[in-house]
């Protein structure tokens, strides 16, 4: 894996950089992610907070937090997804789809209890979150 990656919003007004290695990559099936994105599933990559930096268009970044757990950041011009700050966990979720050259290597599914589509890929399916991330650690069948 390369050391640093560049990401941008849909229109390109906002650019950011992420460096190092992700803490965890996977798929989230929670109602907040799918509802915000308007998608049946969310591919995520979690990075230590200080490894993600907005490098262009910072004033054009909007933030919405429905809960204290997730601050969802988007471009005010195009509405495109940028990242989701999870202050309680000390990580920022950067969707690999908005980062150039970042390969999504999923290790698990989270919040599989609220899935709308099944993914029979053999990866662990957490009912909510792994225990080390504050969840029950319970897993469900594919």
Length of the chain: 142
User: Of 25, 46, 75, 98, which one interacts with Zn ion (CB under 5 A)?
Assistant: 75
What are the residues facing 52 on neighbouring strands? 18
- Among positions 9, 46, 92, 99, the unique one binding Zn ion when judged by CB under 5 A: 9
> How far is 117 from 107, CA to CA, in rounded Å?
18
Q: What angle do CA 5, 18, 101 make, to 5 degrees?
A: 25
Minimum CB distance to Zn ion smaller for 18 or for 115: 115
Min. distance of Cβ 2 from Zn ion in angstroms?
Answer: 24
Q: Does 78 bind Zn ion (CB under 5 A)?
A: yes
* 3-state secondary structure at position 11: coil
Minimal CA–CA distance to 112: which of 83, 75, 137, 92? 137
**Stretch touching Zn ion by CB under 5 A, among 9-17, 86-94, 95-103, 130-138:** 9-17
Q: Which is nearer to Zn ion, 11 or 105 (CB)?
A: 11
3-class DSSP state of 102: coil
Helix or strand run (H / E) with residue 35: helix 31-37
Beta carbon of residue 107, minimum distance to Zn ion (angstroms, whole number) = 15
- Residues 10-39 close enough to bind Zn ion by CB under 5 A: 11, 13, 28, 30, 33
Which positions lie near Zn ion, rule CB under 5 A? 9, 11, 13, 28, 30, 33, 75, 77-78, 80
């Amino acid at each position: 894996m390369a050391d640093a990656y560049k990401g941008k919003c849909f229109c390109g007004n906002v650019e950011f950089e992420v460096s190092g290695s992700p803490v965890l990559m996977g798929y989230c099936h929670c109602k907040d992610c799918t509802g915000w994105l308007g998608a049946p599933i969310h591919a995520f990559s979690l990075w230590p907070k200080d490894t993600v930096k907005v490098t262009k268009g910072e004033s054009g970044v909007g933030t919405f937090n429905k809960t204290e757990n997730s601050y969802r950041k988007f471009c005010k011009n195009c509405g495109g997804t940028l990242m989701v700050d999870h202050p309680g966990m000390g990580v920022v979720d950067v969707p690999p789809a908005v980062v150039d050259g970042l390969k999504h290597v999923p290790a698990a599914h989270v919040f599989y209890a609220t899935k709308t589509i099944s993914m029979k890929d053999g990866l662990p399916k957490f009912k909510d979150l792994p225990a080390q991330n504050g969840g029950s650690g319970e897993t469900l069948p594919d």
